[in-house]
Structure formats: C-alpha cells, structure tokens
Amino acid sequence: MRLIIMGPPGAGKGTQAKFIAERFGIPAISTGDIFRANVSQGTPLGVQAKSFMDQGLYVPDEVTNLMVRDRIDEKDAEHGFLLDGYPRTLAQVEELDGMIKFTGHKLDAVIVLTVDQDEIVDRLHRRAVEEGRDDDTPDVIRKRQEVYLEQTEPLIAVYKERGLVLEIDGLGEVTEVTVRIFAGLASVSES
C-alpha cells in the first residue's frame, strides 16, 4: 500500500500511522522525522534544511522533495509507505506523483482524519497544559487549524477528484478510529 494520511494538528495522525504501518508492514514516514534524521546525520540536504529551520522558515519544496524521494527509495519502502506531513503543497503533489509513477506504482489512498474543531482545540489545550506548554493557547491552536485548512483543502480536492480520499471520523477512542481506517482501507484493496 502507498498511502498518505492527512488531518489537522491533534487529529491523531501520528498515533494512527503507527497502527497502519504495522498492519501493512510498511514504514510510516513523517517529514518531521526525515528532517530531524538528515539534520542529525549532517547530510548535505540536512545542512540545507537546518539553515532554513534555524531561521524559523519553511524548508523549501526542492529540499523537502529530495528528502522524501531519498526516503521512499530506501529498501523498507519498496512495497509501500505511509506519508504523514507530505505533500503540503500542490507542487509537492505533482512531485510525489512523479516519484511514484517512476517506480511503476500508484497511490492507493489518502486517509483524511476529520475532527470537530472545538474538540481538537480542547484536546490540544489539555495536552499543552499537561505538558506545560504555555504557547499552545486556544487562540494559537485555532490559528494552526485555520492554516492547515487553507493549505490542505486544495490538496484534498485534488485527491478527491482522483477518487483516492477516505474520509475517516477521527473522534472517539483510538481503537474505534483504527477500526474505521482499516474498514475503509479494506474497501480500497478490494477494488
């Protein structure tokens, strides 16, 4: 399976990615993890990425694309992968299309975790209080949700046109959400 998981901050993408990856025997690939690995290993791409990250800037698409390409070319991703945090722009969607097409495969599904914004704000604010993170106020959390929607809505629309989107209710117990995801993916693998 070649999958993407999307959802607003706090929707549970990281948690669900672990279960999906385990179920299908594929790596869960997070762009945040890729950035940290390249930076800590001092790779040429990591050095480039760090110069932007240190300034509080987004890592440009060219650098991000190369890091993702390198990662999905690794042996453990030969039979599939789950991307979390990529693509984030329409240009990255096109780049990912090229990467997958080059391997002779196709994208199987885009899992979109849908959640009630107020519930997510409450969830993230509780987590921030528990972890002593003063900067995660409800207003800041709402702003991040708005930015996510602005940036991600066009991507979801592209994947909907292609018939790849699996909208999954992301609220409820972790296991309930996992069951919904697996049921949705079962229908994809049957078609």
d(CA 6, CA 92): 14
13 is catalytic: yes
* Contact partners, residue 175, CB within 8 Å, separation at least 6: none
Number of helices and strands in the chain (H, E): 8, 5
127, containing H or E segment: helix 117-130
126 is catalytic: no
d(CA 135, CA 108): 37
18 is catalytic: no
Catalytic residue among 13, 71, 123, 180: 13
Catalytic residue among 50, 69, 88, 142: 88
Catalytic residue among 18, 126, 133, 143: 133
Distances (CA, A) of 144 to 16, 36, 88, 182: 20, 21, 14, 28
Determine the 3-state secondary structure of 48 from DSSP. Answer: helix
d(CA 157, CA 33): 26
Catalytic residue among 23, 50, 69, 144: 144
Determine the 3-state secondary structure of 130 from DSSP. Answer: helix
Catalytic residue among 18, 106, 126, 127: 127
166, containing H or E segment: strand 165-169
Positions annotated as catalytic residues are 13, 88, 127, 133, 144
